[in-house]
Amino acid sequence: AAVMTEPQKSGFFESLFENSQIAQEIVVLNTEKGFVPSTIRVKKGLSYQVHVVNVNEKEKNVSFVLDSFSEHHATFYGKIKSFVIRPQKEGVYKFVSPETSAQGKLVVFPGGAAVENRAPASEE
């Protein structure tokens, strides 16, 4: 009898491991005055763990919506809601709390290596 082996199993697990490496953790507070910070800056191609904490005593159950990344979460007062994003495109993306009209921006910059290894403008 032939032994059945599953092809490319290690490659699949390696890719899972690579994607799980978190470059940075970001904490966003949902306060009575809006999101703190209201602007988050990240680099394209890296993974970020985002922790949303509702500290708004007036609105104890509000949503955190980051539509461009399909992140829609209920945030309860005093609780942390965590998720991972991996931005693939530069740009400015909006996040909102529909119940309180709070808004914030996620700004995605080019990846780090391209900026650091930039060639001089003129080599003449």
pLDDT at residue 115, rounded to an integer: 41
Residue-wise pLDDT for 51-90, tens only, equals 999 999 999 999 999 999 999 999 999 999 999 999 999 9
The stretch 91-97 carries a mean pLDDT of 98
pTM: 0.74
pLDDT band for 13, please (50, 70, 90 cuts).
low
Residue-wise pLDDT for 98-122, tens only, equals 999 999 999 999 985 544 444 455 5
Cβ-contact 31, 55 below 8 angstroms? yes
- Rounded CA-CA distance 72/88 in Å is 19
